[in-house]
Amino acid sequence: MQKITGILFSGMMFLSAAACGSNAGGTADGAAKQADVQTPAGKKVLVAYYSRSGNTKAVAQQIQRLTGGDLFEIQTVKEYPASYSEMTEIAKKELAEGYTPELKNKAENWAAYDVVFIGSPDWWGTYAPAVRSFIAQYNFGGKTVAPFFTNGGGGMQNCESDMKKQLAGVSVAPGITFPGRSSGAPEQELKNWIQRVLK
């Protein structure tokens, strides 16, 4: 029964943390970069995220502001349907098949980044296929990855462990997850996590 409840939670919440961000070009979003968390000297930060309803985007923007890093929105060539029920069925099928959708943008100056925060909504207990495509496109050697997720009540589930498997051999900091909401994450909790990532 617990397993069934967990699956239902995943299905109900997996769209709650998706978003449509504003930075299609793969560069900084133009916001003033006044970092609240000190980034080690010489370290360059990228905050990459996939979002559909705006919740993961909100957390990504907070991280960008706190670190002064560059913001990058992961976008798919083919858009998902607006219908919630259609979307959940397509996503469930894609995840079961290990599908990686084609992306329409690439992060510029990839080699320059030392720390990459990667954000995704929790879809059926793991991260979105678009994020899987993003990770597959780049060489993460020598970089530190910090995963963050938004969820609709199911918690971390397999998001972090699945991402670590895809990033085998890469330095991956302990991830964090937040309930999906348009206002983003609790500021101090997020700040404390970023400080641990960047120490």
- State the pLDDT at residue 37: 75
pLDDT tens across 122-162, in order? 999 999 999 999 999 999 999 999 999 999 888 999 999 99
Q: Is 32's pLDDT higher than 70?
A: no
| Among 119, 116, 121, residue whose Cα is nearest residue 197 | 116
CA distances from 101 to 78, 79, 186 (A): 8, 10, 31
Which two structure tokens, joined as six digits, stand for 51?
């979002």
Burial grade of 33 (CB within 10 A; 0-12, 13-18, 19 or more):
middle
Q: How do strand 176-179 and strand 144-151 relate by DSSP bridges?
A: parallel
Could you give the percent of the chain with pLDDT greater than 70?
A: 82
Closest of 62, 120, 112 to residue 91, by C-alpha = 120
Whether the Cβ atoms of residue 122 and residue 94 lie closer than 8 Å to each other: no
Q: Can you give the pLDDT at residue 40?
A: 75
CATH number of 2-25+40-198: 3.40.50.360
Query: Does position 118 have pLDDT exceeding 80, yes or no?
Result: yes
Mean pLDDT of 7-28: 40
Share of the chain above pLDDT 90, in %: 66
pTM of the model: 0.82
The SS3 call for residue 16 is: coil
Confidence (pLDDT) at 22: 35
* Domain definitions of the chain by residue range: 2-25+40-198
Which residue has tokens 């990504």? 60
Residue 48 has pLDDT above 50, yes or no: yes
- List, for residues 180-199, the tens digit of each pLDDT value: 998 899 999 999 999 999 98
Place of tokens 């029964």: 1
Rounded mean pLDDT of 16-25? 37
| Per-residue pLDDT, 99 | 92
Residue 35: predicted pLDDT: 66
